[in-house]
Structure 1
Amino acid sequence: MATSAYFHIPFCAHICHYCDFNKVFAAGQPIDDYLRAMDKEMARTAAEFGNRLETLFIGGGTPTVLEPAQLGRLLESIHRHFQFDPQTAEFTVEANPDGLTKEKLAVLREAGVNRLSLGVQTFDDRLLQAIGRTHRRGDIVQAVERAREAGFANISLDLMYGLPGQTLEQFLADLDAAFSLHVPHLSAYSLILEPKTIFYNEWRKGRLHLPGEEAEAAMYEAAMERTEACGYQQYEISNYAFPGFESRHNLTYWNNEEYYGIGAGAHSYIGGVRRANIGPVRHYIAKVDNGEWPHRDVHRLTLQEQMEEEMFLGLRKTEGVSKARFRQKFGRDMHDIFGKAIRAEVENGRLEETETHVRLTKRGKLLGNEVFAAFLGEM
């Protein structure tokens, strides 16, 4: 039984140039029918797999593109089908800075939401326009102020680096702007060119000019150094928090624990089975209304796949993968399965080993994907 749940709202007022998440323009979409279908999937999920939750996350898309009454309906459905203690549970909602009205904030607080994740990306107005974002620097500051006035103390800002035309100086300015807002959690992700995005198509045509690997690495190193100097602790490759403000929901993924996924395109991991819901909104609604699970893909992991995931997900965390936890979960010693890969990565300086954990070095964080690949197909 999972104790975490993700709820996907695929609707957006505007499509960003880099985004490959399951999303559609909100205009003309059957949003009310979609929320009704989500309610049905929640009911079936809770009845079949259990309804006690410790972390909840509403993401998208843009959840705050919903009107206040629609947000209220979604939150009421969650409360009706799942049980959680509002004093101890972590309940996160993603939001765009320019869509966070006082009325919507009040609806979220009333329903027990206690954490906001703001999609800032950059404070540079020119870069914001270049990547297809609709907010501007002033909207970010206003959103944080409004959130605090509404009673939110746990606020996270998402930043991006390696953006087209972005310089190290611009990214340093973004970090300084984020620090000035004194939020307890920051995420900083490098731009990844995903197929079917505007940026990917522009790159294939030779029209997209990116900073390059060396500049991107310098930005990442700056993020690690500057956040530490400002009191943040890096607890995952791309995430930094004041002590006690780490994202418990995202740690569910990196700890390779189970979770529910509700909505079009959502993923779940229950009982050793990974499930992916179909993405198109109307197809999702039709499946649910027909009394079917809205799954596009169902995959039962082999023991080998479970152990590989334990390694490459866990190595994203600064603390790394626990040897004792690995042995407890799988009844095998980590070195019996991955000894060759661990030794090779330690020798080349990308992994280090303590008595209790195997973890990335600073060099390993810069080359994370190469390290993770070393643990695939080891058996």
Structure 2
Amino acid sequence: MVRAAYIHIPFCEHICHYCDFNKVFLKNQPVDQYINSLLLEIDRMMQLRSNSALKTIYIGGGTPTALTAEQLDVLLKGIKSIIDIGKLDEYTIEVNPDSIEEDKLLVLKTHGINRLSMGVQTFDEGLLKEIGRTHSARSIKDAVKRSREAGFTNISLDLMFGLPGQSPSDFKKSLLEAIQLDVDHISAYSLKVEEKTVFYNRQRKGKLTLPPEEDEIKMYEILRDDLKQAGFKQYEISNFAKPGFESKHNLVYWNNEEYFGFGAGSHGYVDGVRYQNHGPIPKYLKAIEEGAKPVLQEHVVSEIERIEEAMFMGLRKREGVNRKQFEKLYNRSLEEAFSEQIDMLVKRGLLCSTKDSIYLTEEGLLLSNEVFEQFIAVLSE
């Protein structure tokens, strides 16, 4: 049974230099038509899946709060008319510090949003400009303050490290600023230069200077050490929470569970099929208008793929992969599936194996991608 849904809002008032998500400039876009089509897609799917009892919804982007308060009201009121939000354990929306005014916060609160994920990235004014963000350090603090005053008790901040010209001490300062805001959850990701981004073009021209690998490792160590001291528990490679504030929606992904994906360019995983919706808004709108599924491509996930995904997604969690749960789901033990890989990684000091689970060691955290690669394309059908 599918218990989670991701809803995509592809509009941005400004495109950041590192972002490769499906998004478009807000100006002159058919925003109202998109909202109506999105609600139609959700309604059609939920009618087909009337037995689905959603527990988490995550509205991401793009920039959901690039919508006006009136547009947010239409969207959230529409969702409420289709889905019983009273049964949700977690209802998250991504917000930008410079586009989350009091009227929008009131709309979010009125319609049951109970978790805000705030895209901060850094508190360094120079770095904010370098990466193409439009907010300031001051606006971050104001946004958190306004959100608390509006009654939000679950606020997460997103940070980045390994940014152009960023030093470990620069990152430590930003992290301290985030901790001092007394938020409930912090996610921090290293910069990945993706194709079709401003940074990618700069890198190709030799105009992008990134920190050396040893500095990036130091930043990650600072992240883990400082957040632990501040009372945050690391529950996933890049995610830290105060007790009880772990992201329930993101755990769906890491537990390799199924979820709906709604909106242009969104991804979903339902009935053993991974799918991606049309990204270009006109194609998405046309499909909805014609009463068709707005799906660009589908992939039936084989049993072998499910097992391999369970490993490299599950090992992202600090608790790792539970032996009993794995065997219950896949009718084989971890050793029956991956004895050679587990033995090799344990000997290298990258995995720890106990009677209950396997999980990344401290060194394994730093070399996680190398660990994950060991579980891909190794099983036979």
TM bucket (normalised to shorter chain) is: over 0.9
1:103 corresponds to which residue? 103
Contact 1:199 1:208 (C-alpha < 8 Å) held by counterparts: yes
Shift of 1:207: 0.2
Q: 1:234-274 deviations in whole A, cap 9, x for unaligned?
A: 00000000010000000000001111110001111111110
The whole-number CA distance in structure 2 between the counterparts of 1:200 and 1:212 is: 17
Q: Which runs of 5+ in 2 are unaligned?
A: none
Contact 1:341 1:378 (C-alpha < 8 Å) held by counterparts: no
Partner amino acid for 1:127? L
The whole-number CA distance in structure 2 between the counterparts of 1:149 and 1:163 is: 32
Normalised by the length of structure 2, the TM-score is 0.98
Question: Residue 85 of structure 1 aligns to a residue in which SS?
Answer: helix
Is the aligned partner of 1:72 residue 2:112?
no
Contact 2:314 2:321 (C-alpha < 8 Å) held by counterparts: yes
Partner amino acid for 1:167? S
Q: Which runs of 5+ in 1 are unaligned?
A: none
Is the aligned partner of 1:82 residue 2:80?
no
Partner amino acid for 1:55? T
Normalised by the length of structure 1, the TM-score is 0.99
Contact 1:232 1:240 (C-alpha < 8 Å) held by counterparts: yes
2:142 corresponds to which residue? 142
1:63 corresponds to which residue? 64
Runs of at least 4 residues of structure 1 off by over 3 A?
none
Shift of 1:80: 1.4
Name the stretch that deviates more: 329-338 or 236-245.
329-338
Partner amino acid for 1:258? E
Shift of 1:46: 0.4
The whole-number CA distance in structure 1 between the counterparts of 2:212 and 2:75 is: 42
Shift of 1:84: 3.1
Partner amino acid for 1:322? N
1:114-193 counterparts in 2 under 5 A? 114-193=114-193
The whole-number CA distance in structure 1 between the counterparts of 2:338 and 2:378 is: 7
Q: 1:138-159 deviations in whole A, cap 9, x for unaligned?
A: 0000000000000001000000
The whole-number CA distance in structure 2 between the counterparts of 1:13 and 1:199 is: 19
Question: Residue 170 of structure 2 aligns to a residue in which SS?
Answer: helix
Question: Residue 214 of structure 2 aligns to a residue in which SS?
Answer: helix
Contact 2:119 2:157 (C-alpha < 8 Å) held by counterparts: yes
Q: 1:145-193 deviations in whole A, cap 9, x for unaligned?
A: 0000000010000000000000111000011101100101000100000
Question: Residue 126 of structure 1 aligns to a residue in which SS?
Answer: helix
Partner amino acid for 1:63? P
Question: Residue 86 of structure 2 aligns to a residue in which SS?
Answer: coil
Partner amino acid for 1:200? Y
1:332 corresponds to which residue? 332
1:318 corresponds to which residue? 318
Partner amino acid for 1:98? D
Contact 2:85 2:112 (C-alpha < 8 Å) held by counterparts: no
Shift of 1:49: 2.2
- How many residues of Structure 1 are paired with residues of Structure 2 in the alignment? 378
The whole-number CA distance in structure 2 between the counterparts of 1:25 and 1:274 is: 28
The whole-number CA distance in structure 2 between the counterparts of 1:350 and 1:247 is: 26
Q: 1:319-370 deviations in whole A, cap 9, x for unaligned?
A: 0011111111111111111111111111111111111111111111111111
Contact 1:54 1:85 (C-alpha < 8 Å) held by counterparts: no
1:258-297 counterparts in 2 under 5 A? 258-297=258-297
The whole-number CA distance in structure 1 between the counterparts of 2:268 and 2:127 is: 34
Shift of 1:85: 2.1
Aligned-residue Cα RMSD (Å) equals: 0.8
